[in-house]
Structures are given as C-alpha cells and as structure tokens.
Structure 1
Amino acid sequence: MAEFAAPAIRDWDFPRTAASILLMTRFGEDRGVDVVDALRGTSLAMSQLRDPGLLVDARQELAVVRNLVRELGDSAGTAIELGRRYHVTTFGIFGFACISSPTLRDAMAFSLRYLDLSFTFSIPHVAVDADKISMILHDERVPEDVAAFLVLRDLAAIYTVMRDLLPDVAFRSLDFRRAEPSTVESYVDLFGVVPAFGTEANVATLDLAFLDEPLPQANEHTVAICEEQCRELVTRKRARSGISHDVRERLVRVGGVEAGMDAVAHELAMSPRTLRRRLSEAGTSYRVLVDEVRQALAEEMLAIGALSVEDVAIRLGYAEASSFIYAFKRWKGITPAAFARRASPRGPSGR
C-alpha cells in the first residue's frame, strides 16, 4: 500500500480551540453530568468555552474526557454517541474548507495537511492500494486509560464528518485493537459493519471509488479562501505549541528530575516570568509539565519491569518512594506496583 498523504502532526499534544470541550460538556449535561464535574481539573469555566478564539491545551480536553468516562463509563455506546456529535460545522473554518472541497480525496488531503485544527487524539495515517483506502488510527501514545474510548470517539467523529461531506460513503471493514465487547450493536448502528477485535491495529477501510466522488457543496473559490485562513491559524497555533514541547524536551533529557523553572528559562533564552506567561497562554504550567513528564517516564520504566518502585522513584528525583507512590496513585488511580504487574507482558493486556 502507498501512503495517501502524511499527517501534519505525529502526536495528539497540540493546542486546539475550546469547541470540543464545549461539545463534550453539553454532551455530559444531557446525561446528567454537572458542568463543574465535567470541567474538573481543566481550570476552565463554561463562560470561557463560548469564546471562539480561546485556545486550550490538549491535556485540558483529555481531562474532560476522563471526567466523562468516570461519570458515564467507558462503554462503546457512550464513545460512539459522543463521536456522532462532531459534525463538519464543529470544526469551524477547517470544516468549511473540507465541505467546499471538490472531492473526498481533496477533503482528506486537506484534513491531513491541517490536522492540528481538529480535535483528534488518535493520529490517522491513510494508505491506498488497488481497490481500497485504509485509515489507520494510531493510539500508541494516547494514555492507556482512555485510549480505547478515544479511538472510538475519534473514528465515530471522522465517519460522521465524512457522511456530512458525502452521504453515501460507507466503511468496508473495521478492525480494533481493543478486546471484543459483549455487544457490537452500537458499532453496527453507526458504521454498518461488524468489526473485528483484538487485531494489531485500529483500521477502517472503504472502497477506493469514494475518493473521486464529487462533493455536493464543492466550491473552488470558497475552499481557497478557507485554506488561506487555515494556514494563518496553524502558523499561530504551531508557534504557541512550541513552548510546551521545548520544556518537556528538556525535562525528559534530565530524566523527569525537576531542573527548576529558572534553569529551564535560561536554556530557552527567556526570563522565568516570560516562561510562566507563555506556558499560561498555552493552557499549562511548569508544574503540570513536570508532572506529565514524570508520569510518562514512570510508566515506561515500570512497564519494562527491570526496576523496582524505589529505583524508579530515585531516577525521577523523589526523595522518598512514598512520595512517588502517592503521586503515581494521583495520576493513575493505582499503585506503581499494581501498574507494573498489569503492564507486564505476562499479565493481562488491558485491551
């Protein structure tokens, strides 16, 4: 198979508008979830979400996902119903560009080129062979506790948008890495096919003929105007997202051991005050990034199984193992030892 087009981004950690958080908060409200509970841990208020210019950190959206899963459960039905809320109009100018594209081929290429204007966590890679298109949704870097939920939400959203663009489009087959659920009714209801489960990758396929179907609302002038605006948006967003990446990169280099904001700011050729302000603008903070890097490194080291909990604590800069255990339980809801047993190749897969 040949790659159709490379996605503009390789990871889910990119800033996005608040539209998805607003959509999920309203979804939760419809199911009895209080706004305060839906937004817990995001530092956001409902009034802020109505600002179309507000950019949020991906981890703020991730917090809302976790809140909904905690309140509503992580069932396939919930993930699919949430994904069905994402119509082409949810994506603003990005969505208008897609719906104005000449064909599905053009809309897909545009979507991958400006993927960081979407709300996806599962990064799609699209390949083409003699008679079909294969869309692989990569969730390897998505946090394990919500990976299966987000793959299904993202795929349901993608399919809903594709049907907005081309009502006759249909999937040919579906594969999921997750274990087979007790019922597949919600899958069949939306996607029209019975999926395979426990596969090596999350893959959706459709007939190649759909690629060159003309879209009903195609407009060459409109799509040109929309692309220009999208180009300006991603330029601004990518400039802002760089600061979080730069700080994480330096923290990873020192093994998650906190170097101190002053030292990191000096490496980045700015004052601590400027660093604090820029991180705040990106929807995060130095303390949050330290926690995130420590969590990611802790999971990697524990999954390998070669280090004790005490060794991992020392490598991450904790003075005592008890402090690390407390922090890990706050991150994952279980002890490091329990996580290591579950992550072991000899243990359950968790899928």
Structure 2
Amino acid sequence: MTNPLKARRFTSALVPYVLTYVRMHGKDPAALQKKYLRGTAAPEVSLPELGAILADAAKLLGDELFGLHAAIGMSRGGYGLLEFGLRSAPTGRVAMEQLATFGALINPLVRWSLEVDGDEVALHHRAPRKGGVGRHGNYFTVARILQIAREMMGDDVKPLRAWFAHAERSCPAELQTFLGTSNVGFGRASNGIVFSAKTLERVPVGSDAALNRALELHGRAVLERCGAEIDDAWARARGAVLELLPRGDATLSKVARKLHVTPRTLQRRLEEHGASFADLLAEVRRTHAERLLTRSDEPIATVASKVGYADAATFVRAFRTWTGTTPGQFRTRALA
C-alpha cells in the first residue's frame, strides 16, 4: 500500500532554523531554499524533502554530525508555544506525555507515543517511511528531546537507552558522549529514548501549573481546528494489538471488536493515518521484538511466541525482512 503521508507537505519550524543555522555558520542557504522551497519563504516540505534538506545542509557545512550540532544549538522556544508548554509541565513525565499528545503540532506526519515498562519510560518517534527522517533528522530529534530534558531537569539527566531508525555501523563517539549512554541502537522501527521513571519525577525549572494548563488547552484547540485526532486511531489500535499479540489473537476482526468498531471502520481509520492493519501489525511486532531481544535473554522461540508467531522460523524470516538481520545477530550487536 502506498503511504500518502510520505508525499504530503507540512509547515516545518525546523526548515527556517536550518537555513538560519547554515547562514550563521558562514554558508549561503539560498540554494537550499530554491531547491526545496520553490524559491519562497514558506517552509512547506514533505518528509523525504525534510530529510534531504538536512542532509544537504550537513554536506554544505561539511558536518557529519549536523543533526546533533543543530539540536544543541537551537535556542529555547524554537518550537514555540508547544515547547513553552512542555517546559512549564509539573513533572518531566507529564512533559513527555504532552509531547506524545501534541507532537502533531510540530510534525503532523509522524507519530509520537509514550510507552511504560516497569520503571522505564520510552518515548517513540515514528515516521511513516523506512529510515525515519534520515540520519540528520533522526539525530536532531533524539538530541533535541534530550537537550530540552536537561535544560528542564538538570545537566545530569541521562537516558538508559537511545535508538535511531536509520542504519549505522557504530555510534559516533561524540554522539555517544552527548547521550551519556553506550546503549545506542540503529536500524530500529522508530527513533526513541528511554528514561528511568524516577528521573521523570523531577520538577522542571520552569514548572508553572497555570501556564501549562493554559497551553494544553490551546494545543487541544489548535489540533481540533486543524482536524487532527487527539484520540488517535493508530495509537488505540496499537494498544489493542500489543494486548492481543501474546495470545495470538491480533487479527483485524479481534482488534476491531476490542475497539468496538467494525473491521471495515478500523481499516478506514487506519488508512486515514496512511497505514493498513498489516502495516500496524508489522510495526508493533517489530518494535516489541526489538525490545524483548535487547532487554532479555529469552530464547528466540519464546520471543517469537510473544510477538504472535507460531514458530521461530517464521519469526526469523519476518525479522530479517524488517531489519536485514536475524534476531540472534540483532541481539548480539545491540548488547555488544
């Protein structure tokens, strides 16, 4: 199924920042603006174009870690009211929850989700294309989240793990130093970062309950005005699939029944988000399998069962299709 979200264009706050960043570092961004923005000031781009702009900016500056450096260099408030709202949250955990809810205000074509597993809280950023938003876009996304978290809760904030959607043989030393963890993965189903629940209990420096509430109401109003669904069909269906997977019941009909809609209605709502049920099922299986492989030493057959496969051989074939490697090789590389 062709994903319409890949071709859709959206207004990106990142594009004008990139053009300014390039100019501030001694290069003329006019060629970038002419190539991708049709010579206008309107920063409307598709996801592939956004990734390409960042890659071309990196090449122009000769900066292999452009996405990381751009994230560190962005001034506070670069993402406007949403960012100020996050910074005024009562706790780091609430700020992450609000980012997952209102992330469409930054980019309506990607999906954010917050997933809790025991004392760990993972923030996922999923673009509807292989490789995410490209190397520099992925670096920027994860690094900017961590940079803001440190500005809010202290320079000693360190993630437990981080990962990126693009493939890379090893983590650049400077990126690993910035992240503060050696547990960094590549070629994953999403970009993401994991914090301990205790870390996210911290009260941000700029916490302001009244301001946070006002900005949350504003965010909801903007999303509704733009026709975006806060109650995301993808997110609800994803939760149902996760619950049904271990029982081998994650079929379209059973997920639809759990959500109290018909299979046809569920499929239509997923298509509105640029996906099919098959896309959703594969994404959930892959993400869950990657988590199990990196967080446990369970046999491959057990992992296969937990992600809804009747036998290990079928799971191995599917995993190789998703990642280009076997579950065993993936685990070895991730835990090295």
TM-score by length of 1: 0.54
| 1:169 partner amino acid | V
1:38 and 2:29 are equivalent in the alignment:
no
Give the Cα separation in 2 of the matches to 1:74 and 1:11: 29
Q: Deviations over 1:289-325 (max 9, x none)?
A: xxxx9xxxxxxxxxxxxxxxxxxxxxxxxxxxxxxxx
Contact 2:120–2:195 under 8 Å retained in 1: yes
User: 1:64 matched to which residue of 2?
Assistant: 53
Who is 2:14 aligned against? Answer: 20
How do 1:81-120 residues align onto structure 2 when only pairs under 5 Å count?
81-119=69-107
Q: Decide whether aligned partners of structure 1 residues 94 and 148 sit closer, same or farther in structure 2, where only a CA change above 3 A counts.
A: same
Where in structure 1 are there 5+ consecutive unaligned residues?
1-9, 50-54, 240-292, 294-343
SS of the counterpart of 1:114? helix
Counterpart position of 1:155: 142
2:241 maps to what in 1? none
Return 5+ residue gaps in structure 2 as ranges. 229-273, 275-319, 326-336
Residues 122 and 223 of structure 1: CA distance in aligned 2, closer, same or farther (over 3 Å): same
What is the match of residue 298 of structure 2? none
CA distance in 2, matches of 1:146, 1:125: 17
In 2 relative to 1, CA 187–232 (structure 1 residues): closer, same or farther, beyond 3 Å? same
Q: Deviations over 1:257-285 (max 9, x none)?
A: xxxxxxxxxxxxxxxxxxxxxxxxxxxxx
Q: 157, 163, 166: which one pairs with 1:169?
A: 157
For residues 94-144 of structure 1, the C-alpha deviation after alignment (integer angstroms, 9 at most, x for no partner) is 1111111111111111111111112487644321122212233434x3365
Aligned pair in 2 of structure 1 residues 217, 200: CA closer, same or farther (>3 Å)?
closer
SS of residue in 1 equivalent to 2:138: helix
Candidates 224, 227, 231, aligned match of 2:216? 227
- Give the percent of matched residue pairs that are identical in Structure 1 and Structure 2: 16
Task: Out of 185-194 and 113-122, give the one that drifted further.
Answer: 113-122
SS in 2 for 1:204: strand
Aligned residue for 1:138?
Answer: 126
Which structure has the larger Rg over C-alpha atoms?
1
Q: Distance in 1 between matches of 2:6 and 2:144?
A: 16
Question: SS of the residue aligned with 1:105?
Answer: helix
- d(CA) in 2 for partners of 1:232, 1:218: 22
SS at match of 1:179: coil
Report how many residues are paired. Answer: 226
What pairs with 1:271-290 in structure 2 (closer than 5 Å)? none
Segment drifting more, 30-39 vs 220-229: 30-39
Distance 2:77 2:52 in 1: 24
SS, match of residue 135 in structure 1: strand
1:198 Cα shift? 4.7
Task: Please say if residues 28 and 38 of structure 1, whose CA atoms lie closer than 8 Å, have aligned partners that are also in contact.
Answer: no
Q: What is residue 204 of structure 1 aligned with on the other side?
A: 193
**Counterpart of 1:125?**
113
Distance 2:61 2:132 in 1: 14
What's the offset of the Cα at 1:21? Answer: 1.3
Inter-partner Cα distance in structure 2 for 1:196 and 1:237: 36
Residue 86 of structure 1 contacts residue 160 of structure 1 at CA under 8 Å; is this kept in 2?
Answer: no
Q: Secondary structure at the match of 2:78?
A: helix
Give a deviation string over 1:36-67, Cα, whole Å, max 9, x none. Answer: 1221221244xx46xxxxx7344564453243
TM-score (norm 2): 0.56
RMSD: 3.5
